[in-house]
Amino acid sequence: MISSKLNDAFNTQIDNELASAHLYLSMAAYFESISLPGFANWMRIQHQEEMAHALKFFDYVNTRNGRVILGGISNPTTDFESVGAALMQALENEQKVSAMINKLYEISSQEKDYASQVLLEWFITEQVEEEKSVTDVIDQLRISGGEGAGLLILDDKLAARVSEPEPPIQ
C-alpha cells in the first residue's frame, strides 16, 4: 500500500501531467492558427505523451491500493509571442516536470517506498529525453533562422513525427 504522503504527491503529479497535456494541446492550436501544421503535429504528440504519463501515474496509484483524486487544472497559455517563445515555454514546462518527478523520488526515498522509486526511475529517464527533444527543436529553429524557407523545412520535418506507444508499467 502506498503512504498517504506519497499518494497525495502522486495525485498532484497526475494533475501536473494533465496540465502539461493541456498546454501542449493549446500550443498545437496556436501552431495551427499560424499555418504550421508540422509544429502542431509535434505538439499533439507531446499532448498524447503527457496524457499517457498521467494515466501511468493513475494506474500505478490504483495498483498500489491508493486513491486517485483529481484536482483542477488551470487554463493554459493560448497566445505566444513567436514560434521560439512557444518552444521555450515547452522547454521550461519540461524542466518544471523534471523537478516535480525528482521531488516525487525524494519523497519515495523518505517513505522507503522502493516500488515507487522503480517507477520514478523510468520517469526520470523519460524527462531527460523530453528535455532533449524540445531542446533539439529549439536548436533546429535557431539554426534555420526561424523564418521563411528554414521554418517551413523544419515544419515539414516535424510533420513526420509519429506517436510511439508508451511501455507498460513493469
Q: Is the pLDDT of residue 5 over 80?
A: yes
Q: What is the pLDDT of residues 79-123, one digit of tens each?
A: 999 999 999 999 999 999 999 999 999 999 999 999 999 999 999
Q: What is the pLDDT of residues 134-170, one digit of tens each?
A: 999 999 999 988 888 989 999 999 998 888 766 555 5
Q: How far apart are the first and last CA of the chain?
A: 17
Which CATH number belongs to the domain containing residue 49 in this structure?
1.20.1260.10
Residue 165 maps to a domain: no
Residue 101 maps to a domain: yes
Residue 76 maps to a domain: no
Residue 138 maps to a domain: yes
Q: Which amino acid is at 107?
A: I
Residue 140: exposed, middle, or buried by beta-carbon count in 10 A (0-12, 13-18, 19+)?
Answer: middle
> For residue 45, what are the CA distances in angstroms to 106, 134, 137?
29, 12, 14
Residue 169 maps to a domain: no
Q: How many domains does the chain have?
A: 1
For the record, the C-alpha cell of 83 comes out as 514560434
What is the reported pTM?
0.91
Q: What is the pLDDT of residues 39-64, one digit of tens each?
A: 999 999 999 999 999 999 999 999 99
Taking the C-alpha atoms of residue 144 and residue 142, their distance in angstroms, rounded to an integer, is 5
134 and 91 Cβ atoms separated by less than 8 Å: yes
Residue 167 maps to a domain: no
Residue 89 maps to a domain: yes
Please, which contacts does 124-129 make with residues 24 or more away whose CB atoms are closer than 8 Å?
A: 124/98, 126/53, 127/94, 127/97, 127/98, 127/101, 128/98
Residue 161, Cβ neighbours under 10 Å: how many? Answer: 16
Q: Which domain holds residue 136?
A: 4-71+81-159
Residue 57 maps to a domain: yes
Residue 156, Cβ neighbours under 10 Å: how many? Answer: 11
What pLDDT, on a 0 to 100 scale, did the predictor assign at position 168?
58
